[in-house]
């Protein structure tokens, strides 16, 4: 094979492939805003005209606002709970070595490798077997199981490389365990924690299956959307709602990513030899 | 196993309980216990409850607690469930193969040509995966439908005369939509394992006369196998139980086992049968995932 054909084989094809791949990835998402501003009740081309009426119709929609409020409550609780649980696990894994570590981490991470419907069904059975009512609380408990693995991966990458000697120095200088955590550890890992809160909130906001099985009579936003999908005439308004949710998610994920990178830089700096006295 | 060995090596023989309590092991265990207990109570215990229920039967509203394999007999022998199992396994296999094959070049590109913007590329890949799952599936309906984007586009280009009806409401639509949903989950593990490859090995192979393709097949591909395997598992196992995609774009011929499981917990209200279907799904998908992993290892072993 000559040098020229080898170049032809690899170089021009790959960027073209990347372009097609990204079109494939983003096309479905870009279509939502397009049809949400389209002045027709059907989602077919050609577009008929520009309108913001679908967005205006959302403002007075009490069922949607109620679902949005539920989603907010669930999202905040899930983010807090799964991040706290994630902090415990991530710290145990990055800071200590102990027997059964891999098994424990495996169990905690296993929702990533399970069909979600099985997690949902099993939670439904145990919740009803205990005699709990289905409510937003059961959704929170269920989504937390599902979000902890994501919180943990974000946090582990933030905690890794954190220099232990900083904490030891703090102990040696007479600080308590809690004081050390608050004054030495926390400032370094704070961006990772915020990043984990944002990621888990985004996942909870978008989560459908667990909410579908566990919500009882109080719908979250994805459940509200699911209900609306049965009526083709309501689709444009749903697309408007979806557009708002996507913008919100992208803003939060961007923020989370920025913070995660800052966290990585900080831990690297904190473990590097001190530059100034 | 390795963790046990490691702990046994590093921890000195224990002088007493108090010393143990202050030891690294005790602190680590205390630290992980809230999360571990949460997962135990809300993940392992519920799964065990499902397994138990699958051996019971339901008589109207009463649960009969005598051990029986009747549910499994029904799950494995009734044609409707057998078809759903086969189709679900087939779809999840097709989706995971397609996702890994289509995502590998992307992961390779980011790892080898991403330069300083690697993190940005990865971020752009993950964004669609975390935004509005339901509406993304809905969007594929808009793209693949009779008057949809793809048909309109192809007619305008003159490729076809009349809209294709074979795009939506079948297994193909389910596969396309799922490949889209799981793209990032395949790219990330493959990327991580590509990043771990020592680049000097590839240079060495090239210096010693291997062509690019040969160097890729003999060095890069085998060394990225762990990433390929986890990508397979992380895509294949969850997709077998997807509920939303078959419901929205699958039509009558694209239904999957999750739709039957949901029916047993909803309208049909036969929990033990639903539990048996769930357990059977898990067992079948684990077995086929294991078979795929072994086949991959074997194939790559032969190539070297």
Chain A positions in Cβ-Cβ contact with residue B143 (cut-off 8 Å): 27-28, 31
A65-74, B87-96, B136-145: least confidently modelled range? B136-145
Q: Please list, in sequence order, all residues whose beta carbon lies within 8 angstroms of the beta carbon of residue A57, skipping any fewer than 6 positions away.
A: A237, A240
Cα(A144)–Cα(A149) distance, integer angstroms: 9
Minimum-distance CB partner of A96 among B28, B134, B147? B28
Q: Where are the alpha helices (DSSP H) in A96-208?
A: 101-109, 116-130, 136-159, 164-172, 177-180, 186-206
Q: pLDDT grade, residue B88 (50/70/90)?
A: very high
Facing residue for B241 by CB, picked from A25, A117, A253? A117
Q: What is the pLDDT of residue B9?
A: 45
* Per-residue pLDDT tens over the stretch B182-241: 998 899 999 999 988 888 888 888 888 888 888 888 888 888 998 999 899 989 998 998
Q: Which of B30, B43, B85, B247 to mutate to test the interface with A (most CBs of A within 10 A)?
A: B43
- Could you tell me what percent of chain A has a pLDDT over 70? 90
A87 CA to chain B: closest CA distance, Å? 9
Query: What pLDDT does residue A5 have?
Result: 54
Q: Which of B42, B134, B238 sits opposite A208 (nearest CB)?
A: B134
Q: What are the angstrom distances between the C-alpha of A138 and each of A3, A17, B44, B197, B271?
A: 62, 44, 17, 44, 19
pLDDT band at B2, cuts 50/70/90? very low
Dist CA B57 CA B69 (whole Å): 9
pLDDT at A176 over 90: no
CA triplet B51, A146, B296: central angle to 5 degrees? 75
Query: Where in chain B does DSSP place strands (E)?
Result: 57-59, 62-64
CB contact under 8 A, A213 and B139: no
Distance between CA A21 and CA B125 in Å, rounded?
Answer: 10
Cβ separation B244–A209 shorter than 8 A:
yes
Strand, coil or helix: B62 = strand
Q: What is the pLDDT of residues A221-277, one digit of tens each?
A: 999 999 988 887 788 888 888 888 888 888 988 888 888 787 777 766 666 554 443
3-state SS record for A106-117: HHHHHHHHCCHH
The winner for highest mean pLDDT among A112-121, A139-148, B106-115 is A139-148
Please choose, from the candidates A233, A210, A235, A246, the residue with its C-alpha nearest in 3D space to the C-alpha of residue A138. Answer: A210
Which helix (H) or strand (E) segment is B149 a member of?
helix B149-156
**pLDDT for residue A77 is more than 90:** yes
The set of residues, in sequence order, having a beta carbon less than 8 Å from that of B260 and lying 6+ positions away, is B80, B81, B84, B277
Of B31, B105, B142, Cβ closest to residue A43: B142
Q: How far is A277 from chain B (nearest CA, A)?
A: 32
Better-predicted residue by pLDDT, B300 or B209: B209
> In terms of residue numbers, what domain contains B185?
66-270
Q: Which residues of A touch B26 (CB under 8 A)?
A: 98
* pLDDT of B39 strictly over 70: yes
Residue numbers in B near A1 (CB within 8 A)? 211
Q: Could you tell me if residue B158 is left (phi over 0), alpha (psi between -120 and 50 degrees) or otherwise beta?
A: left
| Contacts A141 to B, Cβ<8 Å | 42
Asked if residue B240 is part of any domain, the answer here is yes
| CA nearest to B104, candidates B78, B82, B125, B88 | B125
Size of interface A-B (CB pairs under 8 A): 256
Cβ-Cβ contacts under 8 Å, B109 against chain A: 14, 17-18
What pLDDT was estimated at residue A239?
87
Residues of chain A with Cβ-Cβ distance to B46 below 8 Å are: 119, 122-123, 125-126
* Residue that has been written with the tokens 């997807």 in this structure: B242
Interchain contact B28–A (C-beta under 8 A): yes
Is the CB of residue B273 less than 8 Å away from at least one CB of chain A?
A: no
Using CA atoms, how far residue A140 sits from A59, A123, A129, A209, A211, in Å, is 26, 12, 18, 13, 9
Chain A residue with CA closest to B112: the answer is A14
pLDDT confidence bin for A1, thresholds 50/70/90: very low
* B183 chain-A contacts, CB cut-off 8 A: 25
**From the list B136, B244, B278, which residue is nearest A28 (CB)?**
B136
Whether B244 shows a pLDDT value over 70: the answer reads yes
Overall number of domains in chain B:
1
Contact call for B29 and A100, based on CB within 8 A: yes
The answer as to whether B182 is a domain residue is yes
In a domain, B300, yes or no: no
Interface of B with A in 159-188 (CB under 8 A): 180, 183
CATH number of A55-271: 1.10.3720.10
Q: Which residue reads 């949710």 in tokens?
A: A245
- Which chain B residues are within 8 Å of A149, Cβ to Cβ? none
CB contact under 8 A, B38 and A145: yes
CA dist B153 and B115 (Å) reads 35
Which pLDDT band holds residue A208 (cuts at 50, 70, 90)?
very high
User: Can you give the pLDDT at residue A86?
Assistant: 94
Q: Which residues of A touch B3 (CB under 8 A)?
A: 97-103
**What is the Cα gyration radius of chain A?**
24
Closest by Cα among A178, A148, A125 to B36: A148
Of A6, A108, A250, Cβ closest to residue B35: A108
Task: Decide: A203 and A150 in contact? Cβ < 8 Å.
Answer: yes
Q: Find the mean pLDDT for residues B43-47.
A: 92
What number is the ipTM of this complex?
0.83
A225/B130 touch (CB, cutoff 8 Å), yes or no: no
Is B64 in a helix, a strand, or coil? Answer: strand
Q: Give 3-state DSSP helix, strand, coil % of chain B, rounded to 5.
A: 80, 0, 20
What is the pLDDT, as a whole number, of residue A9? 56
DSSP conformation class of A216: T
B205 domain-assigned = yes
Tell whether B152 lies on the interface with A, counting CB pairs under 8 A: yes
The rounded percent of chain A whose pLDDT value lies above 90 is: 31
* Residue that has been written with the tokens 């479905």 in this structure: A28
Q: What is the distance between the alpha carbons of residues B101 and B120, in angstroms, rounded to a whole number?
A: 22
Measured over all CA atoms, what is the biggest interatomic distance in chain A, rounded to whole angstroms? Answer: 73
pLDDT for the residue numbered B22: 67
Mean pLDDT over all residues of chain A? 84
pLDDT in tens, B158-189: 888 878 877 888 888 999 999 999 998 899 99
Residue B10 is predicted with a pLDDT of 47
The answer as to whether B226 is a domain residue is yes
The DSSP call for residue B59 is E
Higher-confidence residue: B146 or B290?
B290
Q: What pLDDT does A132 receive? A: 85
Domain boundaries, chain A: 55-271
Better-scored residue on pLDDT, B68 or A210? A210
Confidence of residue B20 (pLDDT cuts 50, 70, 90): low
**The dihedral of CA B216, B219, B225, B226: what is its sign?**
negative
Instruction: Check which CATH number belongs to the domain holding B228 and give it.
Output: 1.10.3720.10
Q: Is residue B296 part of a domain?
A: no
* Alpha-carbon gap, residue A270 to A214, rounded angstroms: 43
- Confidence class of residue A151 from pLDDT cuts 50, 70 and 90? very high
Q: Do B44 and A113 touch (CB under 8 A)?
A: no
B243 in any annotated domain: yes
How many other CB atoms are there within 10 angstroms of residue A107's CB atom? 16
Q: CB atoms < 10 A from the CB of A187, how many?
A: 11
**The length of chain B, given as a count of residues:** 304
Decide if B6 and A45 are in contact by the 8 Å CB cutoff: no
Say what the pLDDT of residue A177 is.
Answer: 78
Question: CA-to-CA distance for A237 and B12, rounded, in angstroms?
Answer: 65
Interface of B with A in 65-124 (CB under 8 A): 102, 105-106, 109, 113, 119, 123-124
Contacts of B265 in chain A (CB under 8 A): 121, 124, 213
Indicate the Cα dihedral angle B4, B7, B8, B9, nearest 10°.
Answer: 120
B190: tokens are 């493959």
Distance from CA of A274 to the nearest CA of B (A): 26
Does residue A250 sit in helix, strand or coil?
Answer: helix
Average pLDDT, chain B: 85
Residues of B in contact with A101 (CB under 8 A): 3, 7, 28, 32
Average pLDDT of the residues in A167-186: 82
Secondary structure letter of residue A99 according to DSSP: T
Cβ pair B277, B264 in contact under 8 A: yes
């Amino acid at each position: 094979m000559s040098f020229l054909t080898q170049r032809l084989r690899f170089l021009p094809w790959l960027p073209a492939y990347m372009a097609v791949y990204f079109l494939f990835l983003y096309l479905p998402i870009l279509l939502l805003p397009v049809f949400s501003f389209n002045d027709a009740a059907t989602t077919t081309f050609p577009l008929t005209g520009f309108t913001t009426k679908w967005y205006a119709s959302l403002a007075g929609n009490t069922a949607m606002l109620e679902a949005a409020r539920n989603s907010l409550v669930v999202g905040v609780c899930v983010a807090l709970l799964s991040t706290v649980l994630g902090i415990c696990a991530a710290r145990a894994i990055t800071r200590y070595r102990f027997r059964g570590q891999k098994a424990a981490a495996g169990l905690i991470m296993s929702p990533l490798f399970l069909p979600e419907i099985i997690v949902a069904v099993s939670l439904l059975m145990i919740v009803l077997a205990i005699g709990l009512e289905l409510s937003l609380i059961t959704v929170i408990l269920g989504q937390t199981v599902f979000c902890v693995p994501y919180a943990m991966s974000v946090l582990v990458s933030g905690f890794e490389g954190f220099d232990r000697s900083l904490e030891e120095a703090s102990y040696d200088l007479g600080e308590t365990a809690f004081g050390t955590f608050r004054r030495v550890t926390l400032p370094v890992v704070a961006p990772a924690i915020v990043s984990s809160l944002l990621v888990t909130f985004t996942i909870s906001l978008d989560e459908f299956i667990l909410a579908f099985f566990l919500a009882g009579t109080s719908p979250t936003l994805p459940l509200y959307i699911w209900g609306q999908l049965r009526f083709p005439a309501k689709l444009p308004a749903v697309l408007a709602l979806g557009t708002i949710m996507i913008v919100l998610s992208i803003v939060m994920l961007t923020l989370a990513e920025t913070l995660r990178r800052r966290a990585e830089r900080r831990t690297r700096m904190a473990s590097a030899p001190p530059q100034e006295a | 196993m390795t963790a046990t060995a490691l702990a046994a090596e590093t921890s000195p023989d224990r002088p007493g309980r108090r010393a143990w309590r202050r030891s690294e092991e005790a602190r680590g265990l205390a630290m992980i216990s809230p999360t571990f207990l949460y997962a135990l109570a809300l993940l392992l215990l519920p799964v065990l409850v499902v397994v138990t229920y699958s051996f019971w039967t339901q008589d109207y509203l009463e649960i009969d607690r005598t051990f029986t394999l009747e549910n499994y007999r029904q799950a494995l022998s009734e044609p409707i469930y057998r078809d759903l199992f086969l189709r679900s396994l087939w779809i999840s296999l097709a989706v995971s193969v397609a996702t890994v094959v289509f995502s590998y070049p992307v992961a390779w590109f980011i790892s080898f040509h991403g330069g300083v913007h690697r993190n940005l590329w990865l971020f752009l890949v993950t964004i669609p995966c975390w935004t509005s799952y339901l509406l993304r599936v809905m969007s594929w309906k808009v793209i693949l439908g009779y008057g949809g984007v793809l048909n309109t586009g192809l007619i305008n280009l003159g490729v076809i005369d009349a809209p294709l009806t074979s795009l939506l409401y079948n297994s193909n639509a389910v596969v396309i939509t799922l490949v889209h949903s799981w793209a990032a989950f395949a790219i990330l593990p493959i990327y991580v394992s590509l990043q771990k490859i020592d680049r000097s090995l590839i240079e060495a192979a090239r210096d010693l006369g291997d062509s690019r393709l040969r160097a890729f097949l003999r060095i890069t591909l085998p060394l990225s196998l762990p990433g390929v395997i986890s990508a397979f598992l992380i895509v294949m196992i969850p997709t077998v139980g997807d509920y939303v995609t078959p419901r929205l774009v699958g039509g009558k011929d694209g239904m999957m086992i999750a739709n039957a499981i949901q029916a047993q917990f909803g309208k049909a209200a036969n929990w033990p049968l639903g539990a048996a279907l769930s357990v059977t799904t898990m067992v079948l998908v684990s077995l086929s995932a294991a078979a795929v992993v072994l086949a991959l290892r074997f194939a790559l072993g032969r190539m070297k």
